[in-house]
Amino acid sequence: MISEELKKIKSFGSSMESSVTPEDIADKEKELGVMLPQALQELYLTFHPDDPAFTEKGNLIPLEELKICKRVYWTDTMSSNDLENPQMWGLYVLPETRKEEKHLEGREVPCNQSKLSQWIMEWLGYQQTLAQPSVAAVNKDKAESYWKKMREHLPNTFYHVPPEHLSSHRTNFSVNFVEEPSRILCGSILYSELAYFGGRTDEEMEQLMKQMGFKYVWIKSQDGHPVFNSAPPQPPQERELKSIAPVLQFLCKFAGIEGKGAKEESIERAGARLGASLPLSLEEFYRYLPGRFYHSYNVVRPLSGLKQIKDGKVNFLTENQAVYHWAAEFLWALACDEKLNLILWEFPDFEPSMLSEGGKLSPYLSSIAGITDQIAAGNTRRLYQAMDGQAVGLYDSEECTFWFVTKDETLPMVRRMQSLGN
């Protein structure tokens, strides 16, 4: 069924032969009381149980660990690690009810042999990409003619679903490869912005990126290149809290929402209920930001919902992906609100050197209230006043991106800034 395709993927990685035999599979089927799909059998007969496919993050379950787990519904993420609800990837081959079938169709998961084969091949190809000795990442959304160049340089795919088996061709992963002159893989989850390119050497990766004209970062490097996000996170350095009120006042005036934040008595009631005053920046955040903006990129709890948790800390927000910066979040909350009609745009082809003295952007930027450079110390984001208050700039050093928020894109200075990025 997919034996040859599995061997092709295997050839890009470990040479360990599978230790699983047909007799082992028959014993497992007897233990489970079900027949394993042919594609799954071929997977176990091809890859060794110690292969990265079964041992690395997001691994498939080895044959010996297979067991029956009752699930009320399909989950496309790993569940919590406990005995009652074990960590797993679940795949229904045959839904038992129409409700299950409908739910699974929405999730685009395997419901027949052909879809299961497709899923196994795509997932293994993606995992094999990340297992290569040298791996580089590219932001697909920022790479010009990405798919066209992919077809030119990495035209091959591991598996094609027979059209007679599917009413429509749906994929969750994109995996391409080339064997000559170098053996290179490219794998990505389709809804992810990043694509990963993997090969045997850094030199091969550098040559491919040069040919395709892509900007890239290293995920794995054999020659000592700086690796993106490789350093372990450092504990935050404690420092005296600085008032960010002048910055928030500027942002409120810029957006036209002055004097609409939480009332002083509400802040005092919250402090009395908690038995302590709110931290300065949190108090100022509530004082200046109207409640309707709390539900933005990160969800800030209303004053009435603040409470202490078991260790005495105050849970004040639901955070998105461990990213939170008070003054920057204030700006995001304003920029993402449709009623304010603010315009948010990313400066194209940004380089950090543009912010240095003499850089392309430096003549147009200044500190807000003279303190945003101090507030940004030790943080990854910094706010700027731009074009004499006609715009606000936001620099993210971790993502190496720069955004502008403006009120009117027809202003001559705004047009001038936009032309700098072209």
pLDDT reported for residue 85: 47
| From 121-135, 189-203, 318-332, the region with the lowest mean pLDDT | 318-332
The lowest-confidence range among 103-117, 291-305, 309-323, 408-422 is 103-117
**pLDDT tens, position by position, 377-392:** 877 889 999 888 888 9
More confident residue, 85 or 346: 346
Mean pLDDT along residues 5-11: 92
Give dist(CA 291, CA 311) in Å, integer: 27
Average pLDDT over the chain reads: 80
What integer pLDDT is reported at residue 397 of this predicted model?
82
What are the domain boundaries of the chain? 3-121, 127-220, 237-337, 342-422
Question: What does the pLDDT average to over 146-156?
Answer: 92
The model's pTM is 0.56
At residue 43, the pLDDT reads 94
DSSP structure class, residue 299? E
What tens digit of pLDDT does each residue of 11-50 get? 999 889 999 999 999 999 999 888 898 989 999 999 999 9
Distance between CA atoms of 405 and 310, rounded to whole angstroms?
Answer: 40
* DSSP for 178-193, written as a single string: E-SSS-EEEEEETTSS
What is the residue type of 239?
R
Q: What is the mean pLDDT of residues 251-278?
A: 88
Q: Is the pLDDT of residue 89 over 80?
A: no
Q: How far apart are CA 82 and CA 79, in angstroms?
A: 9
pLDDT bracket for residue 345 (50, 70, 90):
confident
Give a three-class secondary structure readout of 323-389.
CCCHHHHHHHHHHCCHHHCCEEEECCCCCHHHHCCCCCCHHHEECCCCCHHHHCCCCCEEEEEEHHH
295: nearest Cα among 252, 337, 325, 342 = 337
Given pLDDT bands bounded at 50, 70 and 90, which one contains residue 322?
A: very low
Tens of pLDDT, residue by residue over 200-256, are 999 999 999 999 999 899 999 999 988 877 666 566 677 788 898 999 999 999 988
118 compared with 113, residue with greater pLDDT: 118
Query: Pick the residue with more confidence: 212 or 258?
Result: 212
Which run of H or of E encompasses 116?
Answer: helix 113-130
Question: Rounded mean pLDDT of 176-194?
Answer: 88
Q: For residue range 360-378, what is the model confidence (pLDDT) as tens digits?
A: 899 989 999 999 988 888 7
